[in-house]
Amino acid sequence: MEAVRAEELFCCDVFLFAAARAVPAVGSGVKDVRMAQLEANRPLVERFARQAREADFRGLFVVLSDPVDPLCQAAWRASNTGADGTPDGQGLLPEQVQGFGLGVMNARAAWFAKQDARFAAFLTEGRSFGPHGKGLVIANSVEHYDEALSRELTRLTLEANLRIRELGFKPYVAPAVSSGAMQLLLALRGVWHCGSVNLGGVWFGCRNRFTPWGLETETLALPDPLFARLRETETLLKSLL
């Protein structure tokens, strides 16, 4: 590891944005810690995105900071906006920007599935979709979808973060490993992983992989109730920025 000058920051193939200006303190009463960080971290990611534009960066711009999904969108927009504030499409391509936040949610859902036999199908048939936080959708099974079980598993997964904070700790390690290191390695190897990618104009967590022909997202036949939940999440994400 060695320090590099600011102007050399984008002389690389992969740029990781993991900066955070502030994290709400344990016991602060903040219900959605990730969204509380949006206004603080957005100017930071936008600054680096503009630098990527100036450097004509053609590598992978990875967002690890919370909230992952809207920060991805903010980075892409900033890099594609000219000095006069006009969108010009001269910055990062949508497929160059990917967020890693869904991995830990998928891992937490798998943990609950191992503890409770009612959720066991998730381990082989389940999927996680959406953001790292509010709007998350956990499907107990794609082939045998159960609305009630899926919503319960989603709630447990979302609240796991709060349970850790109630113990007096900030959950850093699990996201760093499950969402960060593991998913990044899988992505670079070109295999299926959990990541937030551009879908319909918003960055949306799903299984995807990089191929010699470009970014591929998993295609599934989804039951109507599950698809309806994903549309709700899409609407939520569009409202954030």
Q: By percentage, how much of the chain surpasses pLDDT 70?
A: 88
Categorize the per-residue pLDDT at 32 as very low, low, confident or very high, splitting at 50, 70 and 90. Answer: low
Q: Is 33's pLDDT higher than 80?
A: no
Q: Is 57's pLDDT higher than 80?
A: yes
pTM of the model: 0.90
CA angle 112, 195, 90 (to 5 degrees): 160
Note the pLDDT tens digit of each residue in 129-150. Answer: 999 888 999 999 999 999 999 9
Q: Is 22's pLDDT higher than 90?
A: no
Q: Is 31's pLDDT higher than 70?
A: no
Token pair 């670079």 is found at 188
The answer to whether the CB of 15 falls within 8 A of the CB of 59 is yes
**Burial environment of residue 147 by CB neighbours within 10 A (0 to 12, 13 to 18, 19 or more):** middle
Q: Is 190's pLDDT higher than 70?
A: yes
pLDDT of residue 111: 95
In angstroms, rounded to a whole number, what is the distance separating the alpha carbons of residues 138 and 100? 16
pLDDT of residue 173: 72
For residue 205, give the nearest of 171, 236, 239 by alpha carbon.
Answer: 236
> From residue 112, how far is each of 31, 39, 120, 154, 178 by CA, in Å?
22, 32, 8, 10, 15
The answer to whether the CB of 140 falls within 8 A of the CB of 127 is no
> From residue 185, how far is each of 93, 176, 178, 201 by CA, in Å?
21, 12, 11, 26
For residue 66, give the nearest of 137, 161, 151 by alpha carbon.
Answer: 161
pLDDT of residue 160: 81
Tokens of 143: 């082939």
Categorize the per-residue pLDDT at 106 as very low, low, confident or very high, splitting at 50, 70 and 90. Answer: very high
In angstroms, rounded to a whole number, what is the distance separating the alpha carbons of residues 75 and 64? 12
pLDDT of residue 62: 98
Note the pLDDT tens digit of each residue in 112-130. Answer: 999 999 999 999 999 999 9
The whole-number average pLDDT for the span 3-23 is 88
Categorize the per-residue pLDDT at 35 as very low, low, confident or very high, splitting at 50, 70 and 90. Answer: low
pLDDT of residue 133: 87
